[in-house]
Amino acid sequence: MIGTTKRKYKRWIHIVVAAMMLLALPMSASAAPWGAKAAQDTVIKLDGEAVKLSEPPIMLDGRLFVPVALVADLFKAKKIGWDKKNEETTIETALGDTIVLGDGVPVVYFNKARYVMDEAPFIEDGRMYVPLRHVAELLHAKVKWNKEEEAAELTTVQPAVVTEENGLGEIVKAFGTSQAELLVRNEMKTADGIKEGTSLRVVMPSIFDKPAKPYTEQDYTLLAKITMVEAGYESYEGQLAVANVILNRVKDARFPDSIRDVIYSGKQFPPAHNGLLDKAAPNASVLRAAKDALNGKNNVKGAVYFFNPKVSKGSFWSSLDVVAKIGHHHFAE
pLDDT at 41: 85
Mean pLDDT of 141-167: 94
Any idea of the CA torsion for 270, 271, 273, 279, to the nearest 10 degrees? 170
Residue in 246, 248, 240 with CA at minimum distance from that of residue 297: 240
Has residue 30 got a pLDDT over 60?
no
Residue range 73-77: average pLDDT?
96
β-strand pairing of 329-332 with 305-307: antiparallel
**What is the CATH architecture assignment of 158-207?**
Roll (3.10)
At residue 16, the pLDDT reads 40
Q: What is the pLDDT of residues 242-297, one digit of tens each?
A: 999 999 999 999 999 999 999 999 888 999 999 999 999 999 999 999 999 999 99
pLDDT tier, 67 (very low <50, low <70, confident <90, very high otherwise): very high
Whole-prediction pTM: 0.86
pLDDT confidence of residue 58: 94
Beta-bridge mates of residue 101: 89
pLDDT at 35: 67
Q: Quote the pLDDT of residue 112.
A: 85
- Whether residue 23 is predicted with pLDDT greater than 70 in this model: the reply is no
Least confident of 38-42, 70-74, 109-113, 208-212: 38-42
Report the distance separating Cα 293 and Cα 272, nearest Å.
20
- Which sequence spans correspond to the domains of the chain? 37-154, 158-207, 217-332
Give the three-state DSSP class for 230.
helix
pLDDT per residue over 177-219, tens digit each? 999 999 999 999 999 989 999 999 999 999 999 999 999 999 9
Evaluate the CA torsion angle 48, 204, 220, 299 in order and state its sign.
negative
- Which architecture does CATH list for 37-154? 2-Layer Sandwich (3.30)
- Measured between alpha carbons, how far apart are the two ends of the chain, in Å? 69
CATH superfamily of 217-332: Cell wall hydrolase SleB, domain 1 (1.10.10.2520)
Q: What is the mean pLDDT of residues 296-300?
A: 98
Alpha-carbon gap, residue 78 to 69, rounded angstroms: 11
Judged against a pLDDT cut of 70, whether residue 221 lies above it is answered with: yes
- Report the pLDDT value the prediction gives residue 9, as an integer from 0 to 100: 42
Banded pLDDT at 31 (limits 50, 70, 90): low
pLDDT, the chain, mean = 90
